[in-house]
Structure 1
Amino acid sequence: MATSEGPGRRVLGYLESARNLVGCAGGAIGLGLHFAGLGGAWWPAVVAGLYAAGALLTPGPTAGSAQPGEVVEPVRPGPPVPPAPPPGPLPNPELDALAAYLRTVPLPPSAKVDDLLDALRAAGPGPAAERIVRHRLPVAVAGYLRACTWQPWTGPGGPGPEAELGREVGVLAAELT
């Protein structure tokens, strides 16, 4: 309520409030009990108690709600709220698990596996990314590790495992675009 209102307006505001109306209903129930022969000599206390219980247990007005006869000031707009930033890519637990594993594997930087992982995160979920994360990249890394193991017995002149892994990562990166 506004502070410039007099006591008469405040009393009238309370008389019209939901708390008072519920309390009056409780008092009326108390009078009904008295006329029904219940309460005996204590009927005034029963009526007052039921009124008080109704008035005290009824929720008061919430912020922004007005009582009858109350003058409500309009809400003034505050400073503009900046728009929310666009949501980032959705988390991909399979990609995160693969990236954690690949951090433990000694991969050559020239293969640009980290760049492919970043491109997969930026691309978000989709059939191509899912196929790369679940099958194609793990197979390419497994092939690289096998080739590194057997390289001493393959003989000279063959392509190096680093170059083969880099070529396969390039093919996978091209499939994302």
Structure 2
Amino acid sequence: MATSSRALGYLESRKNLTGSALGLVGLALTFTGLAGAYWPFVIAGLYGAGALIAPPERPAAPDFPDPASRLDELRADFAKLHDYLGEVELPPAASGRLTELDALLAALLEPGWVADALATDPEAVYSLSRTIRQDIPESVDTYTRTRWWTRLTPGTEPPERHLERQLGVLFTEADTIAAALREAESRRQQTHTRYLEDRQRNS
């Protein structure tokens, strides 16, 4: 099967097609009498020359997912996270932290120019993906389980303090991403200003 596939692939290759085209030229020369008694060598030589000068085969580039489609998947997971958090009872302070983080994540994932800029930064997309798919669910779930044990062993450190600290760290990470996007737009604006001023001076 592999041998027949390679043979079929060569028949369809540029080398064979180019060589065959020049071979037909040699055949035409034979019929007109220009090739003389050496016509087999003329045809074979033209075929070989065509096979040599044909451009090499170029394998197709891999078709990776579009960055925008990755954000669509992340938005769907963000909606699932919302459904999960809606079933969890959190203390007021942690709930306030989570609300701030939720608003920032929603703004970054909002379809539009911000999300378009975000999609060009794979590290930022990965960081948000980790926050939504791993960090927030793990923080909330760990709080829920630890709170149950705390009720059995009073006097230990309240688990909500750890939850508040964790959500604070996650907010800082997301805010850093937003600041980087904002800085990129600011540099873009400054570059355009310099371009316009240079154009005016050179006109």
**What is the TM-score with the length of structure 2 in the denominator?**
0.40
**Structure with greater helix percent:** 2
- When Rg is computed on C-alpha atoms for both structures, the one with the higher figure is 1
**What is the TM-score with the length of structure 1 in the denominator?**
0.46
